[in-house]
Amino acid sequence: MSGGEGVQRIHALDGLRGWLALYVAAYHLAAPLTTPGSALAPIKAWLSGAWWTVDMFFVMSGFVMMHVYRQVFAHRIEVGACWGFMKARFARLYPVHLLALLLMLPGFMRMPDHEALWLVEDGRYSADAFVKSLLMLHGPWIESRSWNYPAWSISAEWHAYLVFPLLAWLLQRLGAVSGRWAVWACCAVPLALYALVDGHDAHPTNGGLLMLRALPLFLAGMLCCTQPRWGSSWLCLAPVLTCLVLAGPWPELAVLACPAMLMWALTNQAGAWGLSSPVSVWLGRVSYSLYMTHALVEMYVVQGGLRLAAKAGHGPLNLDVFGSVALGLLALALALVLAEVVQRWVEAPCRRALLRTGWKRRALA
């Protein structure tokens, strides 16, 4: 989170974001090891709720943006403040996004048919897709996940930022009761989308439908920030109930639990203590770099390890449990090390350098 002067940082949300980012990384890193017929195929169901963690990212992002910039857009919308807000968001997102995208190129060039993939019109790895990825337009404007595939959600958030100032000004004029109902109405939109979408991608990550998923959840997070904190004792059950729903026959219903999970992190003392522990705070600090760079580890380490196993006579589907677990844990450890390096030497210094121009100061003046 980036806060302005007088804005208190919420460490519990940092911790929650860190653990969720770790879960997403584990899901993607294990994907090549949990294909049908592989030794770790049975654990794939345990990781299948990764789609929900991204929904939580959208909700938390909306909440944090409203928490930080609520007063900036409370009374009026000024061009200078909007420009400063977008520049601050650019400083937060773009340096790591650019680094991860460029580091994808060597792995892409090793593909035997890379020239055909590069030249095919509207292809997943086409030149057009690369340019759109550079401009963070690849989420709503490309029909399939492209290049650094986890970055689709960053593109969706970038589009949500474009309308944030107007939404922030409007939402602060809602009453408490109408705002509470609006939170659930926003979560009902992606739920309906999940129920109606056919095909292999039941939770859209690209194309026009993506914004019907991302924007309502982002809006729900903003609305949560404008409402009084929920003090109900049932909030302590939010994590358990969410896990039960995700493991049930209708896991999509878990999207309705996103606001409750957010409020649990904010109000539950036991949860807040755990999410504010040193490990959780560290995970929160490196969460963005982890989320944006773990696909590199999947490409170079996991896929590379499976190719080496195939050359040694152990095909990817025949890698034993010990070998699969060892490769998966090694990849996760390397992803965390890479996240620390990128956060320390790229994300943080680049952000400070860009904000030193006065963007953030002018936005919050």
- pLDDT of amino acid 166: 92
d(CA 276, CA 10): 9
- Measured CA to CA in angstroms, residue 258 lies from 62, 218, 265 at distances of 12, 11, 11
Kindly state whether residue 261 falls inside one of the protein's structural domains.
yes
Tokens of 100: 């991860």
- pLDDT of amino acid 272: 60
227: left (phi over 0), alpha (psi -120 to 50) or beta: beta
Helix axes 258-267, 238-246, angle to 10 degrees: 150
Kindly state whether residue 2 falls inside one of the protein's structural domains.
no
Distance of CA 164 to the CA centre of its chain: 18
Tell me if residue 232 falls in helix, strand or coil: coil
Whether the CB-CB separation of 283 and 21 falls below 8 Å is answered with yes
- pLDDT of amino acid 270: 54
Kindly state whether residue 365 falls inside one of the protein's structural domains.
no
Kindly state whether residue 290 falls inside one of the protein's structural domains.
yes
Kindly state whether residue 3 falls inside one of the protein's structural domains.
no
Q: CB-side exposure of 13: number of CA atoms within 13 Å? A: 24
Kindly state whether residue 33 falls inside one of the protein's structural domains.
yes
- pLDDT of amino acid 175: 63
d(CA 176, CA 89): 29
Whether the CB-CB separation of 91 and 350 falls below 8 Å is answered with yes
Name 253's Cβ contacts closer than 8 Å, sequence gap at least 6. 191, 245
Mean pLDDT by 10 residues, the chain (365 residues): 56 90 93 78 81 95 93 86 92 95 80 56 72 88 83 94 92 71 91 82 84 95 83 76 88 92 79 78 95 93 79 64 85 96 95 74 48
Kindly state whether residue 181 falls inside one of the protein's structural domains.
yes
Tokens of 350: 């680049």
Kindly state whether residue 319 falls inside one of the protein's structural domains.
yes
Indicate the length of the chain as a whole number.
Answer: 365
- pLDDT of amino acid 235: 77
d(CA 359, CA 356): 7
The whole domain housing 42 covers 11-360
Query: Cβ atoms within 10 A of the Cβ of 345, count?
Result: 11
| Tally of domains within the chain | 1
Whether the CB-CB separation of 205 and 145 falls below 8 Å is answered with yes
d(CA 103, CA 285): 22
